[in-house]
Protein backbone atom coordinates (compact mmCIF):
# COMPACT_ATOMS: atom_id res chain seq x y z
CA UNK A 1 0.00 0.00 0.00
CA UNK A 2 2.80 2.39 0.90
CA UNK A 3 4.58 1.62 -2.36
CA UNK A 4 1.37 2.36 -4.28
CA UNK A 5 0.93 5.69 -2.48
CA UNK A 6 4.58 6.57 -3.12
CA UNK A 7 4.21 5.71 -6.83
CA UNK A 8 1.04 7.82 -7.12
CA UNK A 9 2.72 10.70 -5.30
CA UNK A 10 5.79 10.56 -7.54
CA UNK A 11 3.63 10.54 -10.67
CA UNK A 12 1.57 13.45 -9.29
CA UNK A 13 4.73 15.48 -8.72
CA UNK A 14 5.89 14.76 -12.28
CA UNK A 15 2.44 15.72 -13.62
CA UNK A 16 2.47 19.18 -11.99
CA UNK A 17 4.69 20.91 -14.60
CA UNK A 18 2.74 19.27 -17.45
CA UNK A 19 -0.53 20.51 -15.96
CA UNK A 20 0.99 23.96 -15.57
CA UNK A 21 2.14 23.99 -19.21
CA UNK A 22 -1.26 22.75 -20.35
CA UNK A 23 -3.18 25.44 -18.47
CA UNK A 24 -0.93 28.43 -19.12
CA UNK A 25 0.71 27.57 -22.45
CA UNK A 26 -1.13 25.02 -24.58
CA UNK A 27 -4.68 26.20 -23.91
CA UNK A 28 -3.88 29.91 -24.52
CA UNK A 29 -1.84 28.90 -27.58
CA UNK A 30 -4.78 27.01 -29.10
CA UNK A 31 -7.11 29.93 -28.35
CA UNK A 32 -4.76 32.30 -30.19
CA UNK A 33 -4.36 29.77 -33.00
CA UNK A 34 -8.16 29.55 -33.32
CA UNK A 35 -8.38 33.35 -33.60
CA UNK A 36 -5.65 33.30 -36.27
CA UNK A 37 -7.82 31.01 -38.39
CA UNK A 38 -10.83 33.32 -38.12
CA UNK A 39 -11.80 36.45 -40.05
CA UNK A 40 -11.72 40.04 -38.85
CA UNK A 41 -15.08 41.55 -37.85
CA UNK A 42 -16.33 44.95 -36.74
CA UNK A 43 -17.53 43.65 -33.43
CA UNK A 44 -16.44 42.88 -29.88
CA UNK A 45 -14.34 40.75 -29.94
CA UNK A 46 -12.89 41.97 -33.26
CA UNK A 47 -13.07 38.62 -35.06
CA UNK A 48 -15.69 36.19 -36.29
CA UNK A 49 -15.63 33.17 -33.95
CA UNK A 50 -16.22 30.03 -36.01
CA UNK A 51 -17.67 28.07 -33.14
CA UNK A 52 -18.51 28.19 -29.45
CA UNK A 53 -17.70 25.46 -26.97
CA UNK A 54 -21.40 25.23 -26.16
CA UNK A 55 -22.17 24.00 -29.71
CA UNK A 56 -22.75 20.32 -30.29
CA UNK A 57 -19.89 18.25 -31.71
CA UNK A 58 -21.24 17.91 -35.26
CA UNK A 59 -21.69 21.67 -35.58
CA UNK A 60 -18.23 22.36 -34.18
CA UNK A 61 -16.64 19.99 -36.69
CA UNK A 62 -18.46 21.67 -39.59
CA UNK A 63 -17.29 25.09 -38.44
CA UNK A 64 -13.72 23.91 -37.91
CA UNK A 65 -13.67 22.91 -41.56
CA UNK A 66 -14.41 26.55 -42.40
CA UNK A 67 -11.17 27.76 -40.81
CA UNK A 68 -9.05 29.76 -43.22
CA UNK A 69 -5.26 30.15 -43.52
CA UNK A 70 -5.67 33.45 -45.36
CA UNK A 71 -4.03 35.36 -42.50
CA UNK A 72 -0.86 33.27 -42.73
CA UNK A 73 -0.82 33.68 -46.51
CA UNK A 74 -1.17 37.43 -45.99
CA UNK A 75 1.84 37.44 -43.67
CA UNK A 76 3.96 35.68 -46.29
CA UNK A 77 2.89 38.08 -49.03
CA UNK A 78 3.43 41.32 -47.09
CA UNK A 79 7.11 42.22 -46.75
CA UNK A 80 6.45 44.27 -43.60
CA UNK A 81 6.06 41.20 -41.44
CA UNK A 82 9.09 39.17 -42.47
CA UNK A 83 11.19 42.35 -42.33
CA UNK A 84 9.92 42.87 -38.78
CA UNK A 85 10.80 39.26 -37.91
CA UNK A 86 14.30 39.58 -39.37
CA UNK A 87 14.88 42.93 -37.67
CA UNK A 88 13.73 41.50 -34.33
CA UNK A 89 16.03 38.48 -34.70
CA UNK A 90 18.98 40.74 -35.57
CA UNK A 91 18.41 43.12 -32.65
CA UNK A 92 17.83 40.24 -30.21
CA UNK A 93 20.92 38.33 -31.45
CA UNK A 94 23.22 41.37 -31.25
CA UNK A 95 21.86 42.29 -27.82
CA UNK A 96 22.39 38.72 -26.59
CA UNK A 97 25.96 38.71 -27.89
CA UNK A 98 26.72 42.06 -26.21
CA UNK A 99 25.13 40.84 -22.97
CA UNK A 100 27.35 37.74 -23.12
CA UNK A 101 30.48 39.85 -23.68
CA UNK A 102 29.63 42.00 -20.67
CA UNK A 103 27.99 39.39 -18.47
CA UNK A 104 30.63 36.64 -18.68
CA UNK A 105 33.47 38.74 -17.17
CA UNK A 106 31.07 40.02 -14.51
CA UNK A 107 30.00 36.49 -13.57
CA UNK A 108 33.60 35.27 -13.62
CA UNK A 109 34.69 38.12 -11.35
CA UNK A 110 31.85 37.39 -8.96
CA UNK A 111 32.69 33.69 -8.87
CA UNK A 112 36.38 34.39 -8.14
CA UNK A 113 35.64 37.06 -5.52
CA UNK A 114 36.07 36.25 -1.80
CA UNK A 115 33.21 34.32 -0.26
CA UNK A 116 32.31 37.20 2.05
CA UNK A 117 31.97 39.59 -0.92
CA UNK A 118 29.89 37.38 -3.22
CA UNK A 119 26.47 38.03 -1.55
CA UNK A 120 27.03 41.78 -1.91
CA UNK A 121 27.97 41.47 -5.58
CA UNK A 122 24.97 39.21 -6.19
CA UNK A 123 22.68 41.75 -4.53
CA UNK A 124 24.07 44.53 -6.74
CA UNK A 125 23.22 42.49 -9.83
CA UNK A 126 19.67 41.87 -8.62
CA UNK A 127 19.17 45.41 -7.26
CA UNK A 128 17.78 46.95 -10.50
CA UNK A 129 14.80 44.58 -10.31
CA UNK A 130 13.64 46.45 -7.20
CA UNK A 131 12.87 49.44 -9.45
CA UNK A 132 10.01 49.59 -11.93
CA UNK A 133 10.94 48.55 -15.46
CA UNK A 134 9.34 51.67 -16.95
CA UNK A 135 11.19 53.95 -14.54
CA UNK A 136 14.49 52.42 -15.63
CA UNK A 137 13.64 52.88 -19.32
CA UNK A 138 12.64 56.52 -18.76
CA UNK A 139 15.87 57.03 -16.84
CA UNK A 140 17.79 55.88 -19.94
CA UNK A 141 15.79 58.35 -22.03
CA UNK A 142 17.01 61.11 -19.73
CA UNK A 143 20.59 59.84 -20.11
CA UNK A 144 20.61 59.32 -23.90
CA UNK A 145 18.62 62.32 -25.19
CA UNK A 146 20.58 65.15 -26.89
CA UNK A 147 20.51 67.32 -23.78
CA UNK A 148 20.88 64.32 -21.50
CA UNK A 149 23.52 63.37 -18.99
CA UNK A 150 25.70 61.38 -21.40
CA UNK A 151 26.04 64.17 -23.96
CA UNK A 152 26.57 66.78 -21.28
CA UNK A 153 29.32 64.69 -19.71
CA UNK A 154 31.08 64.08 -23.05
CA UNK A 155 30.89 67.77 -23.93
CA UNK A 156 32.23 68.68 -20.47
CA UNK A 157 35.23 66.42 -21.18
CA UNK A 158 35.64 68.13 -24.60
CA UNK A 159 35.32 64.75 -26.35
CA UNK A 160 32.51 66.03 -28.56
CA UNK A 161 31.46 69.51 -29.69
CA UNK A 162 27.84 68.80 -30.54
CA UNK A 163 25.42 66.36 -28.87
CA UNK A 164 25.36 62.83 -30.26
CA UNK A 165 22.12 61.44 -31.70
CA UNK A 166 21.65 58.25 -29.70
CA UNK A 167 18.01 58.31 -28.71
CA UNK A 168 15.53 56.99 -31.31
CA UNK A 169 18.19 54.81 -32.94
CA UNK A 170 19.06 51.11 -32.87
CA UNK A 171 22.04 51.96 -30.67
CA UNK A 172 19.71 53.13 -27.91
CA UNK A 173 17.72 49.90 -28.23
CA UNK A 174 20.88 47.81 -27.86
CA UNK A 175 22.01 49.79 -24.81
CA UNK A 176 18.70 49.55 -22.96
CA UNK A 177 18.03 45.88 -23.85
CA UNK A 178 21.52 44.86 -22.69
CA UNK A 179 21.13 46.86 -19.48
CA UNK A 180 17.66 45.47 -18.81
CA UNK A 181 18.41 41.78 -19.43
CA UNK A 182 22.04 41.67 -18.29
CA UNK A 183 21.18 40.07 -14.91
CA UNK A 184 19.51 37.18 -16.77
CA UNK A 185 22.87 36.54 -18.45
CA UNK A 186 25.03 37.02 -15.37
CA UNK A 187 23.12 34.84 -12.91
CA UNK A 188 23.11 31.50 -14.85
CA UNK A 189 26.81 31.87 -15.71
CA UNK A 190 27.64 32.78 -12.12
CA UNK A 191 25.73 29.77 -10.77
CA UNK A 192 27.88 27.48 -12.96
CA UNK A 193 31.22 29.18 -12.34
CA UNK A 194 30.63 29.30 -8.59
CA UNK A 195 30.49 25.48 -8.45
CA UNK A 196 33.44 24.97 -10.76
CA UNK A 197 36.55 23.20 -9.48
CA UNK A 198 39.30 25.75 -10.17
CA UNK A 199 41.99 23.20 -9.38
CA UNK A 200 41.44 22.03 -12.97
CA UNK A 201 42.68 25.41 -14.21
CA UNK A 202 45.70 25.21 -11.90
CA UNK A 203 46.45 21.70 -13.18
CA UNK A 204 46.24 22.90 -16.80
CA UNK A 205 48.65 25.75 -16.05
CA UNK A 206 51.03 23.34 -14.32
CA UNK A 207 51.00 21.26 -17.50
CA UNK A 208 52.09 24.25 -19.57
CA UNK A 209 48.86 26.04 -20.55
CA UNK A 210 48.90 29.81 -20.53
CA UNK A 211 46.13 31.46 -18.47
CA UNK A 212 44.26 32.39 -21.65
CA UNK A 213 44.52 28.89 -23.10
CA UNK A 214 43.47 27.37 -19.77
CA UNK A 215 40.42 29.64 -19.81
CA UNK A 216 39.36 28.49 -23.29
CA UNK A 217 40.15 24.83 -22.61
CA UNK A 218 38.72 24.51 -19.09
CA UNK A 219 36.65 27.45 -17.84
CA UNK A 220 34.65 28.38 -20.92
CA UNK A 221 33.51 24.81 -21.85
CA UNK A 222 32.40 24.20 -18.26
CA UNK A 223 30.51 27.52 -18.23
CA UNK A 224 28.92 26.93 -21.63
CA UNK A 225 25.74 25.47 -20.14
CA UNK A 226 25.20 28.61 -18.05
CA UNK A 227 26.01 30.83 -21.05
CA UNK A 228 23.45 28.93 -23.15
CA UNK A 229 20.77 29.35 -20.48
CA UNK A 230 21.62 33.04 -20.16
CA UNK A 231 21.47 33.50 -23.93
CA UNK A 232 17.99 31.96 -23.99
CA UNK A 233 16.81 34.16 -21.12
CA UNK A 234 18.01 37.26 -22.98
CA UNK A 235 17.18 36.34 -26.58
CA UNK A 236 13.60 35.10 -26.02
CA UNK A 237 12.17 38.24 -24.33
CA UNK A 238 14.31 40.56 -26.46
CA UNK A 239 12.91 39.25 -29.74
CA UNK A 240 9.37 40.11 -28.69
CA UNK A 241 10.23 43.32 -26.86
CA UNK A 242 7.77 46.18 -27.34
CA UNK A 243 8.29 48.80 -24.62
CA UNK A 244 12.00 49.45 -25.23
CA UNK A 245 11.78 49.85 -29.04
CA UNK A 246 8.69 52.01 -28.66
CA UNK A 247 10.18 54.39 -26.08
CA UNK A 248 13.85 54.64 -27.08
CA UNK A 249 13.80 53.37 -30.66
CA UNK A 250 11.39 55.83 -32.18
CA UNK A 251 8.68 55.37 -34.79
CA UNK A 252 11.04 54.08 -37.49
CA UNK A 253 12.11 51.02 -35.48
CA UNK A 254 10.73 47.82 -36.96
CA UNK A 255 10.29 44.97 -34.50
CA UNK A 256 7.69 42.27 -34.37
CA UNK A 257 6.48 43.34 -30.91
CA UNK A 258 5.59 46.80 -32.20
CA UNK A 259 4.00 45.33 -35.32
CA UNK A 260 1.91 42.98 -33.20
CA UNK A 261 0.76 45.84 -30.95
CA UNK A 262 -0.13 47.98 -33.97
CA UNK A 263 -2.21 45.24 -35.59
CA UNK A 264 -3.97 44.42 -32.34
CA UNK A 265 -4.76 47.91 -30.98
CA UNK A 266 -4.47 50.35 -33.91
CA UNK A 267 -5.81 48.27 -36.80
CA UNK A 268 -7.96 46.04 -34.56
CA UNK A 269 -7.10 43.09 -36.78
CA UNK A 270 -7.14 40.32 -34.19
CA UNK A 271 -6.79 37.39 -36.61
CA UNK A 272 -3.65 38.81 -38.26
CA UNK A 273 -2.26 39.73 -34.82
CA UNK A 274 -2.88 36.18 -33.62
CA UNK A 275 -1.17 34.77 -36.73
CA UNK A 276 1.86 37.01 -36.09
CA UNK A 277 1.99 35.80 -32.47
CA UNK A 278 1.68 32.11 -33.46
CA UNK A 279 4.53 32.33 -35.98
CA UNK A 280 6.72 34.20 -33.49
CA UNK A 281 6.00 31.64 -30.79
CA UNK A 282 6.71 28.67 -33.05
CA UNK A 283 9.88 30.36 -34.26
CA UNK A 284 11.08 30.47 -30.66
CA UNK A 285 9.79 27.14 -29.34
CA UNK A 286 11.09 24.90 -32.14
CA UNK A 287 14.79 25.96 -31.82
CA UNK A 288 14.57 25.73 -28.04
CA UNK A 289 13.17 22.18 -28.21
CA UNK A 290 15.87 21.16 -30.70
CA UNK A 291 18.56 22.66 -28.45
CA UNK A 292 17.18 20.79 -25.45
CA UNK A 293 17.21 17.52 -27.41
CA UNK A 294 20.82 18.13 -28.48
CA UNK A 295 21.84 18.81 -24.89
CA UNK A 296 20.01 15.69 -23.71
CA UNK A 297 21.86 13.59 -26.30
CA UNK A 298 25.16 15.17 -25.28
CA UNK A 299 24.46 14.40 -21.63
CA UNK A 300 23.54 10.84 -22.56
CA UNK A 301 26.78 10.48 -24.51
CA UNK A 302 28.77 11.62 -21.53
How far is Cα 130 from Cα 128, in angstroms, rounded to an integer?
5
Burial 286-302 (b: 16+ CB within 10 A, else e): eeeeeeeeeeeeeeeee
Number of neighbours of residue 68 by Cβ within 10 angstroms: 13
Q: Within 13 A of 279's CA, how many CA atoms are on the CB side?
A: 22
pLDDT tens, 62-92?
666 667 788 888 888 888 888 888 999 999 9
Which pLDDT score, from 0 to 100, does residue 96 have? Answer: 95
Three-class secondary structure of residue 195 per DSSP: coil
pLDDT at residue 234, as a whole number: 94
pLDDT (tens digit per residue) in 146-169? 898 999 999 998 888 888 888 989
Amino acid sequence: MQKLIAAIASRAVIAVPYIWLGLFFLIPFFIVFKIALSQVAMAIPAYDPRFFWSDDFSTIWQKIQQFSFDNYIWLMQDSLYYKAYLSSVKIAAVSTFLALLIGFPMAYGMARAPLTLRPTLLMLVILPFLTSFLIRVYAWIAILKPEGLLNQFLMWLNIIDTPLTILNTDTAIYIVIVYTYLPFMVLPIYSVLEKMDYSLVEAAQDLGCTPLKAFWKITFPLALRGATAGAMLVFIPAIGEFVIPDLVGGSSTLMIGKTLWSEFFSNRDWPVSAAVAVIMLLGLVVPIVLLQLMQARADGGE
